[in-house]
Amino acid sequence: MAIQTAAIGLARFDMMRGERFEHHVHREHQLVWAPAGVLMVDVDDRYWVLPPALALWIPGGVRHATIALRTSVMQGIYLDPDNCPVAWRDPTVMAVSPLARNLIEYLAGTLADDHRLHAETVLLEVLRPVVKATIELPLPADERARDVAHLLLSDPTDHRSLDELARVARSSPRTLLRLFLTETGLTFTQWRAHARLQASIGLLAEGQPVARVAPQVGYATASAFVAAFRRVTGHTPAAYFSRLPTL
């Protein structure tokens, strides 16, 4: 059965490091992609870091914000929900294959109507969700656990124990363990690892070698960092940036 083509709008934004679009909502579905640089997207206190190989599908009506972790280009792809044949209900990470990249760049140009309709149809057919490729970081809602989360986000090299962090937050280690697990779906140890790895993405995107990045995000050795990175993303740091789907 033929796919009904959605009207796809595109907007390109050149963003300096630290520049952001504050929380907002729009009716259209959006695919957020950085053909250059690294973006971080915040959707309801869940954070994704996106290098050029990945994009994030944001359903229409969902509140979100975007920040450039490095000098970046943000390509917004907007789809009319009334005509779009695909509609993931939750934020969904997509692989941006070479074909998808070329189609997006092609659609950004001036096209005859029939050529545009065909390109839009093909783009929607080649969008592929990926299960394990990016680093998602949900924030806990409880103020005590959130205070600890902000400490670790501000300094990934913070090696204080859970007991020490609990004292700072005026909580108990057991309470913090419970809060992180119930409010983020990650154990405290997993959450700290995700925070460290998320901090590494921008450094790796700059081309810094793994041996230099590892200590900047709290790992004693490059091998420990690479092992942790592979556990979370399914790829080594090098493959994370260079490996693209073949479609």
- pLDDT at position 2 is 42
Q: Is the pLDDT of residue 148 over 90?
A: yes
User: Using the 8-state DSSP alphabet, how is residue 79 labeled?
Assistant: E
21: in domain: yes
Last residue of a domain, one of 129, 149, 177: 129
Is residue 175 domain-shared with residue 235, that is, in the same domain? Answer: yes
| pTM of the complete model beyond 0.85 | no
Last residue of a domain, one of 129, 155, 179: 129
Dihedral through CA 161, CA 167, CA 169, CA 172, nearest 10? Answer: 90
- Average pLDDT over every residue of 108-125: 89
Token couple for 24: 């907002």
Q: Which residues of 89-99 are buried (b: 16+ CB within 10 A; e: fewer)?
A: eebbbbbbbeb
- pLDDT at position 112 is 87
247: in domain: no
- pLDDT at position 97 is 86
Residue range of the domain that includes 98? 8-129
Last residue of a domain, one of 76, 94, 129: 129
Is residue 100 domain-shared with residue 25, that is, in the same domain? Answer: yes
3: in domain: no
89: in domain: yes
Q: Is 115 helix (H, G, I), strand (E, B) or coil?
A: helix
Residue 164's beta-bridge partner residues?
none
User: What is the torsional sign of CA 108, 42, 233, 229?
Assistant: positive
Cβ atoms of 81 and 166 closer than 8 Å: no
213: in domain: yes
Token couple for 20: 């952001």
10-37: pLDDT as tens digits:
999 999 988 999 999 999 999 999 998 8
Number of domains in the chain: 2
Nearest to 178, CA basis, from 188, 189, 170, 169: 188
Is residue 17 domain-shared with residue 113, that is, in the same domain? Answer: yes
- pLDDT at position 127 is 85
Q: Which of 116-120, 214-218, 240-244 has the lowest mean pLDDT?
A: 240-244
Rounded to 5 degrees, φ, ψ at 110 are -90, 120
Is residue 14 domain-shared with residue 76, that is, in the same domain? Answer: yes
User: What is the torsional sign of CA 77, 97, 51, 197?
Assistant: positive
Q: Is the pLDDT of residue 142 over 80?
A: yes
Distances in Å between the Cα of 174 and the Cα atoms of 92, 167, 192 are 32, 12, 16
- Average pLDDT over every residue of 176-200: 93
- pLDDT at position 85 is 82
42-75: pLDDT as tens digits:
898 888 888 888 899 999 999 999 988 788 999 9
- pLDDT at position 162 is 94
- pLDDT at position 3 is 45
Q: Edge-to-edge, what's the strand order for the sheet holding 46-50?
A: 20-24, 64-68, 39-43, 46-50, 136-138
- pLDDT at position 18 is 84
Is residue 226 domain-shared with residue 166, that is, in the same domain? Answer: yes
